[in-house]
């Protein structure tokens, strides 16, 4: 088995390149080869500038040494001079958030403290090229925000970056360009949004199909789902109306029914949910077939592919659940930067208003 085969690409100075693909596609192997951890069987690599790799955060720590001593050891392993480590020591400790335990052997650290200290050391390097492999998986939400801020700071400073992550939303936010790997080969190279969409299409095409978590003789069943653009033939688009039609079949009278449509980000997190329990109270259904229509005057999600799950509840208990039963393909519509489109208007008002927060 070849981990990589016939791989060839260039990264320009100051560019941020994301690399995405399924587990085993060869993403980490690329970073290991670029950082010199692994030697390629054949081929040639040219690196111009000082390179730092965060491939295995915290690897190389000695468990018997304290956090402070490991900063000296690990910093030296990453190519930092002693004077540079001393100058940045306080900042490294403060960034890691383990200052209270900095003189305790790291074998007594939690796994989160361990990798936070490792990332903090690596984040204080001043490389020309930075290789990052799943570094946003470390620490809690507050520390991940600090990591994102630090990466953004390095980008503003003109550093070249290669970023690997299964968090596709982070790839979209942080990178100028992306590569899609499949079984050791580059199958697509282009803007992050396009590559993420192609990756999702590849993933969904290999999906075994909807997963039903209901009993075979469930009193209610999801029979269909469709998404329509009532005002256009161009399909569902960001910032324009959308109608979602949820078909169902019931075997008996069911009280207090709630229908839900869940939309998931490319990274797998819940993006939004349409539900009948938000208004008009609970529904009572008799035996037969029908459909629920959800009308969205303005669709706020950005262009891309979204996974769709369906569920039917009665008296707070799920009686039918279908996971990965469909995809919602949102096309380009109104211009949007960020994760959501927010309908708005504006006007100019001169002079300060009472009660507003001022900045000095």
Write the pLDDT tens digit of every residue in 290-349. Answer: 999 999 999 999 888 888 999 999 988 889 999 888 889 898 888 887 778 898 888 888
pLDDT for residue 16: 92
pLDDT of residue 138: 58
Closest by CA to 212, choosing from 80, 84, 320, 59, is: 320
Give me the pLDDT at residue 79, please: 78
Greater model confidence, 63 or 208: 63
In this model, does residue 82 exceed pLDDT 60? yes
What's the pLDDT at 64?
93
- pLDDT at site 216: 62
Instruction: Give the separation between CA 9 and CA 98, rounded to whole angstroms.
Output: 39
**What confidence tier does 274 reach under pLDDT thresholds 50, 70, 90?**
very high
Instruction: Tell me the backbone φ, ψ of residue 75, rounded to 5 degrees.
Output: -60, -40
CA distance 115 to 102: 14
Q: Is residue 108 very low, low, confident or very high in pLDDT (cuts 50, 70, 90)?
A: very high
pLDDT at 181 over 80: yes
Confidence band, pLDDT 50/70/90 cuts, at residue 57: low
By percentage, how much of the chain surpasses pLDDT 70? 89
- Looking at residue 105, what is its pLDDT? 94
Phi first, then psi: give them for residue 63, nearest 5 degrees.
-65, -25
**Length of the chain as a residue count:** 360
- Range of lowest pLDDT (46-60, 87-101, 163-177): 46-60
What burial class does residue 41 get, using C-beta atoms within 10 Å of its C-beta: 0-12 exposed, 13-18 middle, 19+ buried?
exposed
Q: Cβ distance 219 to 313 under 8 Å? A: no
pLDDT in tens, 195-207: 888 887 787 665 5
Express each pLDDT in 218-244 by its tens digit. Answer: 889 999 999 999 988 889 999 999 999
Question: Which comes out higher in pLDDT, residue 215 or 107?
Answer: 107
Domains (range + CATH), the chain: 16-205 (3.40.50.300), 211-330 (2.70.50.60)
Q: Which residue has the higher pLDDT, 141 or 303?
A: 303
Paired tokens of 257 = 């029914």
Please report the DSSP string for 155-171 in residue order. Answer: HHTT-EEEEE-S-HHHH
Tell me the per-residue pLDDT of 146-161, one tens digit each, with 9 for 90 and over: 777 888 888 888 889 9
């Amino acid at each position: 088995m070849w981990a990589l085969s016939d791989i060839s690409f260039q990264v320009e100075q100051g560019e941020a390149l994301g690399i995405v693909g399924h587990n085993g596609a060869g993403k980490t192997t690329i970073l290991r080869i670029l950082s010199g951890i692994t030697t390629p069987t054949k081929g040639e690599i040219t690196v111009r500038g000082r390179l730092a790799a965060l491939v295995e955060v915290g690897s190389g720590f000695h468990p018997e040494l304290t956090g402070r001593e490991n900063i000296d050891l690990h910093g030296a392993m990453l190519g930092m001079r002693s004077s540079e480590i001393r100058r940045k020591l306080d900042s490294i400790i403060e960034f890691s958030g383990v200052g209270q335990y900095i003189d305790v052997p790291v074998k007594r650290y939690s796994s989160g403290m361990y990798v936070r200290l490792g990332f903090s050391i690596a984040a204080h390097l001043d490389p020309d090229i930075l290789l990052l492999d799943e570094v946003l998986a470390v620490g809690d939400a507050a520390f991940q925000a600090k990591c994102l801020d630090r990466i953004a700071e390095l980008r503003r400073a003109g550093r070249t970056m290669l970023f690997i992550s299964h968090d596709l939303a982070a790839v979209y936010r942080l990178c100028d360009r992306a590569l899609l790997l499949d079984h050791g080969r580059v199958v697509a190279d282009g803007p992050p949004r396009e590559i993420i969409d192609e990756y999702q299409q590849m993933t969904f095409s290999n999906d075994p199909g909807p997963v039903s978590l209901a009993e075979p003789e469930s009193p209610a069943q999801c029979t269909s789902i469709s998404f329509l653009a009532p005002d256009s033939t161009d399909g569902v688009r960001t910032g324009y109306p959308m109608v979602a039609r949820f078909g169902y079949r019931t075997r008996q009278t069911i009280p207090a029914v709630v229908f839900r449509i869940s939309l998931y980000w490319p990274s797998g997190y819940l993006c939004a949910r349409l539900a009948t329990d938000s208004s008009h109270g609970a529904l009572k259904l008799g035996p037969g077939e029908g459909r629920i229509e959800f009308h969205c005057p303005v669709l706020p999600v950005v262009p891309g592919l979204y996974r769709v799950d369906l569920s039917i509840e009665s008296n707070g208990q799920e009686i039918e659940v279908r996971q990965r039963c469909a995809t919602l393909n949102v096309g380009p519509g109104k211009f949007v930067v960020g994760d959501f489109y927010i309908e708005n208007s504006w006007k100019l008002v001169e002079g300060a208003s009472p009660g507003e927060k001022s900045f000095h």
